[in-house]
Amino acid sequence: EWIEETDLGQLRLRLDSPTIQRQICTENGQPVLQLVLRGTVRDLSAADPSLQQQAAGWQSREELSRQISQSVTGQLQQLVDQCWQPEGDPFQLGWWFGAWDTRWYYDALDSGSLYQPGRIEAWAEIRMM
């Protein structure tokens, strides 16, 4: 549950059944961990009552889904970027690289190339009910 500032105003929302999908892909010959946060907003309230009425329309729900997904994507990527550091990996994201290719992981860890910016891409796909 969190408060989200959108172009349409301030919203309070609760995400139901959030999941994070993890997948290693290669880009330019280098592995990239892709994180996708998916979930459905089941409970939505707005500071402005007129915004609450707008959310009831299908077109507004699509717009809200897009805006919320975009905002959460930015927050999620910022969190990952701040935590993906050689000094520490609090979410143990490096484990996924080791599971993908143990030899590559230890070589990258030893050479210092594991914790490169852009090694992890994160985004959100949030739907409105």
DSSP output for the chain: -EEEEETTEEEEEEEEEEEEEEEEEEETTEEEEEEEEEEEEEEEEESSHHHHHHHTSHHHHHHHHHHHHHHHHHHHHHHHHHH-BTTB-TT-THHHHHHH-HHHHHHHHHHT-TT-TTSEEEEEEEEE-
The answer to whether the Cα torsion of 97, 103, 107, 109 is positive or negative is: positive
Q: What is the pLDDT of the chain when averaged over all its residues?
A: 87
pLDDT for position 8: 63
Share of the chain above pLDDT 90, in %: 60
pTM attached to this predicted model: 0.82
pLDDT for position 68: 85
Q: At which residue do the structure tokens 């970027």 appear? A: 81
pLDDT per position as a tens digit, 59-114: 577 887 888 899 889 999 999 999 999 998 999 999 999 999 999 999 999 999 99
